[in-house]
Structure 1
Amino acid sequence: MKEILLVLDLDETLLYATTNRLIQKEDFVAGIYYVYVRPDLEYFLSQLAENFKLAIWSSADDVYVEQLVNKIKPSAVNFEFIWGRSRTTKKRMSLTDEYHYVKRLSKVKRKGFLLERTLIIDDTAEKSMLNYGNAIQITEFTGDPHDDELLLLASYLEKLRNVENVRLIDKRYWREQVKSI
């Protein structure tokens, strides 16, 4: 059985980039942004890379995405792909008349990945709304140095690594499943 592909969002999922400096010192500066890495990110990526394939897909500008990924990527971790906004689809929400950059996993499928073995992890439900059975929504990261979301998520994902079809698993209450162990 092939390893599960984890498609990870960047902003507010793995890090927080802001033009306003927070109380704590930033991890690095990228252009006009103070960047705060989500706690335990290096551990999260390194641990998951042992049993999963990893990819980054952000709705941010492609150059910005590459620049930030180069700063946060542990040397032993390889990404299957690093995609930015150019790989998303701009979709109008009829109720709110807002536009969102949506990540269509059919593009990942065209790269040869099985949707039954693909999970997309994002803090914004609208960006992965077309991927219901594949999506895991996590809390938005806004720089809290005490955030433990990636540790909880790593524990949850470890339980899924041998699942034949991730689309059949209800992932809406994943945090409660981890905390009840």
Structure 2
Amino acid sequence: METLIVLDLDETLLYAVQNKLERDEDFKMGSYFIYKRPYLDHFLTLLARDFKLAIWSSADDVYVKQLVERIKPAHITFEFVWGRSRTTKKRKSVTDDYYFVKRLSKIKQKGFKLERTLIIDDTAEKSMLNYGNAVQVAEFTGDPVDDELLQLSNYLQTLKDAENVRIIEKRFWRNG
């Protein structure tokens, strides 16, 4: 069974901003300028050879589907594309702010095993309930020389045959 990699969108695979950066955007959607993280197409193509891929964002469902249509290479099929409606809303008691958590237990209903699932996100609190499955990446804010996806693809290749990704230490993945 192939390992499933669940990818976040905003600040992980792309950067959406209302004020244009000092370089050309990759595309525009509504009032947003969208910048794809460098090496995104290469990253998705490389991972699709050895892993099953999915997208799960805490953004609005319609927005997520529209973005995925724009960034998905034609030869890649995602197992699912989920937005905010599949997250769990949590409240920070100190600040009274809300945030959205991605509970990987929801994917078990689709036949995926948590021992063979990784979730990639730039925000630790969104995947905090999936500690053994999470790989946290640096936030992407449009830097054209960012190489996080190159480093990440190399690291993920080392996990492709792991029977249980949950028992592997992933906090220091860049050092390995």
Instruction: Give the TM-score normalised by the residue count of structure 1.
Output: 0.96
The CA deviation string for residues 16-40 of structure 1, in whole angstroms up to 9 with x for no partner, is: 0000000010000001100000000
Structure 1 gaps of 5+ residues are none
Q: Which amino acid aligns with 2:92?
A: M
Aligned partner of 1:120 in structure 2 is: 119
What's 1:40 paired with? 39
Identity %: 69
CA distance in 1, matches of 2:158, 2:98: 35
Q: 1:52 is matched with which residue?
A: 51
Matches within 5 A, 1:46-85: 46-85=45-84
Shift of 1:144: 0.2
Q: Distance in 2 between matches of 1:42 and 1:83?
A: 20
What is the aligned partner in structure 1 of residue 92 from structure 2? 93
Q: Which residue identity does 1:169 align to in structure 2?
A: I
Runs of 4+ in structure 1 deviating by more than 4 angstroms, as ranges, are none
1:95 is displaced (CA, Å) by 4.0
Q: Normalising by the residue count of structure 2, what TM-score does the alignment of the two structures yield?
A: 0.98
What amino acid does structure 2 have at the position aligned with 1:24?
A: R
Amino acid in structure 2 at the alignment position of 1:4: T
- Paired with 1:164 and 1:147, the residues of 2 have a C-alpha distance of 31
Q: Count matched residues.
A: 176
SS of residue paired to 2:115:
helix
Residue aligned with 1:154, SS: helix
- CA offsets per residue over residues 116-139 of structure 1, 9 Å max, x none? 000000000010010000000000
Equivalent in the alignment of 2:19:
20
Cα distance per residue 1:36-90 (max 9 Å; x no partner): 0000000000000000000000000000000000000001111000000000000
> How do 1:160-175 residues align onto structure 2 when only pairs under 5 Å count?
160-175=159-174
Structure-1 separation of matches of 2:52 and 2:95: 36
Q: CA RMSD in A?
A: 0.7
